[in-house]
Amino acid sequence: MQVSRDASNQLAIDPNATERLSSLARSNPKEAIRQVASQFEAILLNQMMASMRSNGFDGEEDSSELGTYRGMLDQQMVNAMVQGGGTGLAEMLARQIEGVARIDKTATPAASSGMLPLPALPAAAAKAIRQYAEAAGTATAAPAPVAIPSERQAFVSTLLPHAGQAAERLGVAPELLVGHAALESGWGSRSIRHPDGRESYNLFGIKAGGAWRGESVATLTTEYVDGKARKQVESFRSYPSLQAAFDDYAKLLEGSRRYQRALNQGDNAQGFAVALQQGGYATDPAYARKLAGVAQSLLAR
């Protein structure tokens, strides 16, 4: 199957796609605007599909595999719709962007320059643009490493020996896995426990979907819906030990097509974090920046 190099088919939070768009903007600004507008339209359509899917159906099995294939199908449908002419939103966005660019360049009011006034963007489109910009910024901006307080050093020292084997399987530095565990568990302060107080050792916030056959525990967690944080109760996997938690984490990333880009990143904290966010590991729009910052701090210590 031939893959198009048109950047409008790619997420702009992919650093390579962003660089290509930047280069295109210098050589062919009008085409760059068209491709960016197409991305905005695709993101809005994806959000609409996700919103419809979130309603679910009675009797439908809740499994990560089913969700993955549904997401792939939705993405293909959106791509086909956008490439087939879309809804007209991309054209309107392109006109809006071109109009703003002309106003900025000439510093002349639209009426006096002979340009027709452009319609205001719909609220839904403006919201999609804001969320798109936030996601692109959090994924591509270089995170600043944060200092690790002395009381957190014990957490790192405890987990590093368990992270080694899993990190070798995934082709990444052990510090990246410990950083991920630190972010998900609040450096061990938000451990998921059973009602009787038993530790679940779920360091990575892995949920217990329909395919999970092990022990599980329900707890309150934060999910982001349409960019807003929302508290809800979810079921999470429970393990007998720290090593079992790292082994299952490695198995999850190895076996999922969504996270293949996260593999073999070595000590590239930024690449690892962006790949996990793109794969849908978490709903927090700033997840990649947070994870990369923690992991880089561990690498630099």
- Would you please indicate which residues are annotated as catalytic (active-site) residues? 223, 248
Q: Are 180 and 295 a contacting pair, CB within 8 Å?
A: yes
**Cβ–Cβ < 8 Å for 128, 46:** no
Distance CA 123, CA 120 (A): 9
Residue 145 near residue 300, CB atoms below 8 Å: yes
Give the 3-state secondary structure of residue 4: coil
**Single-letter residue type at 221:** T
Q: Are residues 221 and 214 in contact, defined by beta-carbon separation less than 8 angstroms?
A: no
Q: Per the structure block, which two tokens stand in for 130?
A: 């804001």
252 Ramachandran zone, left/alpha/beta (phi>0; psi -120 to 50): alpha
Q: Please provide the distance, in angstroms rounded to a whole number, between the alpha carbons at the two ends of the chain.
A: 45
3-class state of residue 201 by DSSP: coil
Query: Encoding tokens for residue 24?
Result: 């295109």
Q: How far is residue 22's CA from residue 16's CA, in Å, rounded to a whole number?
A: 10
The answer to whether 288 touches 272, Cβ cutoff 8 Å, is no
